[in-house]
Chains A and B, each alone.
Chain A
Amino acid sequence: MREHAASGSGDVLISIRDVRKAYRMGSEEVTILRGVNLEIRQGDFVAIIGPSGSGKSTLMNVIGCLDTPSSGSYTLDGMEVSGLSDNKLAEVRNRKIGFIFQSFHLLPKLSAIENVELPLIYRGLSNKERREAAVKALQQVGLDGRMGHRPSELSGGQQQRVAIARALATHPPILLADEPTGALDTRTGKEVLGLIEELNSAGHTIVLITHDLEVAARAKRVVFMNDGILTEERGDGREAVARVQNVMAQHSGQQA
């Protein structure tokens, strides 16, 4: 693994080595990840980009411990994750990772604050601690005025903020965002992205998955996923995206 000047300055949080993932679809085995290596440090803001079907969602699921790799090693915050039991993985998800999903994944029957409290319930916090942490997280995303509203009573941008508050509430070392702006219009998408940037400057490590190059350009570091193989792009987000755009243009040129 190479060290990268552009990456965060802190300790290594995520270290993925030669991770492979294959699914069995019917009688055929489909390989999604073909030996991925990735290192993410404390304070990083990494964008994983790539066309759909490139395997970036699968990689994000592996990073988020929602799925287990077929082979390879994955160390998260100093702990080897591959091979852990279901229960241990649930605990890892609860303590180490804050998820921000494309379609928010809020529970529709719970109010904003109850949604934010959910991961804290599974952590086993008392009512009072939970409420305090949830209120603080909602304040952080500027939604402390709408705590009692259900997701259906909130706009898309507000729902995503609730989801971000939920991710923040547990103070995880890593925020994992899967197309966080995918379901939002351009303006609210920008707002949410701004919020994510703020969080990064406040010291949160962020891994963002997107196929939108404009979104990726906001990241400090970009990795490009294509056909199950990850390539590191040098320079900051803007430079990297420019290069990727070139490559993609050539690709489509060849295909045409």
Chain B
Amino acid sequence: MKLSQGFRMSWHSILANKLRTFLSMLGILIGVATVISLVAMGQGSSNEVEKSLQSLGTNMLSVNIMGRGSVTTLSLDDAVHLADGIEDIEGVAPIVSGNAAVKYGTTESASVSVEGITPDYETVKDFKHQSGRYIVPLDVSNYSRVALLGVNTAADLFGSEDPTGKTVLLNGVRFKVVGLLEPKGSSLGGSNDDKVLIPITTAQRLFQSAGIRSISVKVAEEDKMAAVVSQIEAKLAELFRGNTDSFNVFNQQDVKDTMSSISKTMSMMMAGVACISLVIGGIGIMNIMLVSVTERTREIGIRKSLGAKKRDILVQFLIEAIIISGMGGLAGIGLAYAACYAMTHYFEMATEIKANIISYSFVFSAAIGILFGIFPANKAASLKPVDALRHD
């Protein structure tokens, strides 16, 4: 028998048994579609996590000062000079933060996060302004009542109006808006766009807090992080006279590592679920293939009695299995794309389909389909025709 003839015979048989073909394909289709979309979901959420981690900055340290009791905290001067004598520090940004009600005219915004900063904040946090000007050293030394607005806060208060030059009230105190920050999205600490930045000295007055409780430190290189952390700790220990409970130095890389490992675990879990569904899909394929070949033993007997060799039977079943598995697999990939599209557009879930997952699941399902199409067919084709014919 020629191969082209075998192909035609198989195609004929596939078309002649639509229900059987459909059921065989269904197992593969569901297996492939489930795996691809589950892994795509896992990948999507891990991408999301990755994105929000990116905004943390990898070379950032944050120093938190708890102080001894309520009195002893770091003074602004100490904070600004924290980096002195330590190499590889690119910038230090002490921050005084609090919440304040912001009011413009009659429009009052709910409580907004207000941060008192030094000009270094811009480089340390990599958070620039898009119009107007930034906080300058003179603002800090003069206790100026000037403010930079985050984009959301500006939109809340001014709508489409340009806020620069306008006057807002922070907890009833008048501040002149000198600039508008660029949009930055949200990071772990909350939205960066619902924010007001004012000079640090002004903030100390506004919130009536003398000490500095939070300092962001930017390290020059990522691999110097550990060294810088220990030097800062040593310096702070000296300042607090050995009381290491009064402060902690928080390495953002640690957070990032933790988050990555969580997201990795999630992905692994998704992949595990996907594997299980692939196996279940495989069992489905196996069942329908086994049943269909058993059902076709008589057909095999008839074909053998008419002169079909074992090889002819196997070629026919192999081609059938390849076509069914292939079509099922392709339909599964299509379904997975549709499912991911639906998840992204209707449920706003992030998904990312990876090419290697497509090929793994396709190859796996197709291999199962072919294996379990061929294995029982081989058994039936090895029967003596008389035994196969007797099969009802």
A residues near B (Cβ < 8 Å) are 61, 64, 66-68, 86-87, 90-91, 93-95, 99, 101, 105-107, 109-110, 114, 118-119, 121-124, 166, 170
Check A109 against B5 for contact (C-beta < 8 Å): no
Check B1 against A121 for contact (C-beta < 8 Å): yes
With a CB–CB cut-off of 8 A, which chain B residues contact A109?
Answer: 12-13, 16-17
With a CB–CB cut-off of 8 A, which chain A residues contact B385?
Answer: 66-67, 93
Of A67, A110, A170, which contacts B384 at CB under 8 A?
A67
With a CB–CB cut-off of 8 A, which chain B residues contact A90?
Answer: 304, 307-310
Shortest Cβ distance from residue A53 to the other chain B in the assembled complex, whole angstroms? 15
Check B307 against A119 for contact (C-beta < 8 Å): yes
Check A123 against B307 for contact (C-beta < 8 Å): yes
With a CB–CB cut-off of 8 A, which chain B residues contact A64?
Answer: 305
With a CB–CB cut-off of 8 A, which chain A residues contact B303?
Answer: 107, 118, 122
With a CB–CB cut-off of 8 A, which chain A residues contact B1?
Answer: 121-122, 124
Q: A109-B13, A124-B1 are in contact. Are A87 and B302 (CB under 8 A)?
A: no
Shortest Cβ distance from residue B17 to the other chain A in the assembled complex, whole angstroms? 7
Q: Helix, strand, loop or mixed for chain B's interface?
A: helix
Check A67 against B309 for contact (C-beta < 8 Å): no
B residues 65-113 with Cβ under 8 Å of A?
Answer: none
Q: Which 8 A-B pairs have the closest CB atoms?
A: A94-B307, A109-B16, A119-B306, A66-B386, A122-B307, A67-B386, A66-B385, A90-B309
Check A121 against B384 for contact (C-beta < 8 Å): no
Q: B233: CB under 8 A from chain A? A: no
Shortest Cβ distance from residue A124 to the other chain B in the assembled complex, whole angstroms? 6
With a CB–CB cut-off of 8 A, which chain A residues contact B307?
Answer: 90-91, 93-95, 119, 122-123, 170
CA distance A99 to B305 in the complex (A): 8
Task: Give the nearest-CB partner of A96 in chain B.
Answer: B307
Check B304 against A105 for contact (C-beta < 8 Å): no
Q: B182: CB under 8 A from chain A? A: no
With a CB–CB cut-off of 8 A, which chain B residues contact A166?
Answer: 306
Shortest Cβ distance from residue B146 to the other chain A in the assembled complex, whole angstroms? 86
Q: B2: CB under 8 A from chain A? A: yes
CA distance A93 to B385 in the complex (A): 11
Check B306 against A93 for contact (C-beta < 8 Å): yes
CA distance A90 to B312 in the complex (A): 10
Of A87, A99, A110, which contacts B309 at CB under 8 A?
A87
Check A93 against B2 for contact (C-beta < 8 Å): no
Task: Give the nearest-CB partner of B381 in chain A.
Answer: A86
CA distance A64 to B12 in the complex (A): 28
Q: A87-B311, A109-B13, A121-B9 are in contact. Are A66 and B305 (CB under 8 A)?
A: yes
Most buried by A among B2, B16, B384, B386: B386
With a CB–CB cut-off of 8 A, which chain B residues contact A121?
Answer: 1, 5, 9
B residues 1-41 with Cβ under 8 Å of A?
Answer: 1-2, 5, 9, 12-13, 16-17
With a CB–CB cut-off of 8 A, which chain A residues contact B311?
Answer: 87
CA distance A87 to B12 in the complex (A): 25
Shortest Cβ distance from residue A165 to the other chain B in the assembled complex, whole angstroms? 13
Check B306 against A94 for contact (C-beta < 8 Å): yes
Most buried by A among B2, B309, B389: B309
Q: B299: CB under 8 A from chain A? A: yes
CA distance A121 to B308 in the complex (A): 9
With a CB–CB cut-off of 8 A, which chain A residues contact B386?
Answer: 61, 66-67
With a CB–CB cut-off of 8 A, which chain A residues contact B17?
Answer: 109
Q: A64-B305, A67-B384, A99-B305 are in contact. Are A86 and B389 (CB under 8 A)?
A: no
Shortest Cβ distance from residue B385 to the other chain A in the assembled complex, whole angstroms? 4
With a CB–CB cut-off of 8 A, which chain A residues contact B2?
Answer: 124
With a CB–CB cut-off of 8 A, which chain B residues contact A93?
Answer: 304-307, 385
Shortest Cβ distance from residue B311 to the other chain A in the assembled complex, whole angstroms? 7
Show 30 A/B contacts (Cβ-Cβ < 8 Å), sorted by A. Answer: A66-B384, A67-B385, A87-B310, A87-B311, A90-B304, A90-B307, A90-B309, A91-B309, A93-B304, A93-B385, A94-B307, A95-B307, A99-B305, A99-B306, A105-B298, A106-B302, A107-B299, A109-B13, A109-B16, A109-B17, A114-B12, A118-B306, A119-B306, A121-B1, A121-B5, A122-B1, A122-B308, A123-B307, A166-B306, A170-B307
CA distance A93 to B306 in the complex (A): 6
Shortest Cβ distance from residue B59 to the other chain A in the assembled complex, whole angstroms? 70
With a CB–CB cut-off of 8 A, which chain A residues contact B308?
Answer: 90, 122
Of A61, A107, A114, A170, which contacts B302 at CB under 8 A?
A107
Shortest Cβ distance from residue A64 to the other chain B in the assembled complex, whole angstroms? 7
Shortest Cβ distance from residue B303 to the other chain A in the assembled complex, whole angstroms? 7
B residues 270-320 with Cβ under 8 Å of A?
Answer: 298-299, 301-312
List 10 additional contacts besides A87-B310, A90-B308, A107-B302; criterion CB under 8 Å.
A64-B305, A66-B389, A86-B309, A90-B307, A93-B305, A94-B306, A101-B389, A107-B303, A122-B312, A124-B1
CA distance A64 to B301 in the complex (A): 13
With a CB–CB cut-off of 8 A, which chain B residues contact A105?
Answer: 298, 301-302, 305, 389
